[in-house]
Structure formats: structure tokens, C-alpha cells
Amino acid sequence: MELLIFGEGGLPAIVFPTSCGRFYQFEDEGMVAAVAQKIEHGELQLFCVDSVDNESWYAENVPGRWRIARHMQYEQYVLDEVVARFRRKRPFPHLAAVGCSFGGFHAASIALRHPDIFTAMLSMGGAFNVSHLLRGHYDEDVINTCQWTFFQTCRSPGIWISTDITTTRWLRACTICVGMKTNVWQSC
């Protein structure tokens, strides 16, 4: 799969495109330019990944189980290849997941499922209840991947939820930013 890398140091961030988007979308939409100073000063490094949404969540002619299974394969690719790639080059104790819209879903899903790997998450206008895309399919993968069901079934004492603020602290030292304001990036 194709990806773009911006920067050589600082906080590494896996950037997910919006619904059915491509790896170059974050740059095309001006988001890379918006954080260019952080990239140039070595404070931030972006790994913009491709998506398989056309083959998973938005695959029209396949059952829900197939959609979630394809998503799980994609998540494993991100962990085993993208994360492993940058960690081989430079070990860094922190990693952020970032995305807008459906990319915000991907960022939240992977960060919440892997708090041992991701220490920060920024979801800008993320879709959090995507169960309608699964045509009624419901299993353990859905529970653990879709934040709406994850939080409904979550019994972990290390997570607390607040709906009235844009920045939340995860008790496991994970910074979670979820917001719809234009300055949410600076708040994190």
C-alpha cells in the first residue's frame, strides 16, 4: 500500500484519510500545510496511510461480516507494517492516530483498541456509530472496533468519558482529542 511521510522527527502520527480516501488526501486538503511549522521544526512526523474503505465499510455487495473482517486485516497492516516501519528507523515512546470524518473513526478505533501502542488520538468530526454499514451484523470484532458499542460494553477502570469537553485525559496517559472546532489541533 502507498503512504506519504512528512517530517523526520518529533511525535509520529498515523494519519487516516476520510471515507474511501487516499494517502495523499491530508496533504491535498491543506492539513499538512496547517501543521507545516511543527513538521519543519521536528516536532511532528506524519505517516499518511491509504484506506481500504471501498473493500470494507463501503463495499456494497458483501455481507457485514466480510466488511469487518477486511477492516481487521487493514488494521493489522497498519500495526504490522506502518508502525513497525517507523519504529525500526527510530524508536519513539509516543504515537498518535489522526483523522478527519471517517478517518477520525479509524483513528479512534485503532487508538482505543491498542492503548499500548497509541498514546494520543485526534479525531476531527469522526464518525463513531458506523454499525449501519454492517447491515445488522454484530459480533466481537464489531464490539471492539466500533466506538459506540465499545463504550457501551467497556468496563475498564482506566477509561472515562466526557461529552462536554474537547480534550480528555485517558488515565493510561493517553491524550484523546475529539472536536469539531477549527482550533482543536492546537488544544492537544
Task: Name the stretches of the chain with pLDDT < 70.
Answer: 146-188
Query: Which CATH fold would you assign to the domain 3-187?
Result: Rossmann fold (3.40.50)
pTM of the model: 0.79
Residue 14 three-state SS: strand
- Among 88, 105, 108, which residue's Cα sits nearest to residue 96? 108
Q: For residue 48, give the C-alpha cell.
A: 499518511
**AA identity, residue 98:** V
In the chain, where the domains are located:
3-187
Q: Is residue 140 helix, strand or coil?
A: helix
pLDDT in tens, 52-82: 999 998 998 999 889 999 999 999 999 999 9
Grid cell in block for residue 12: 509520529
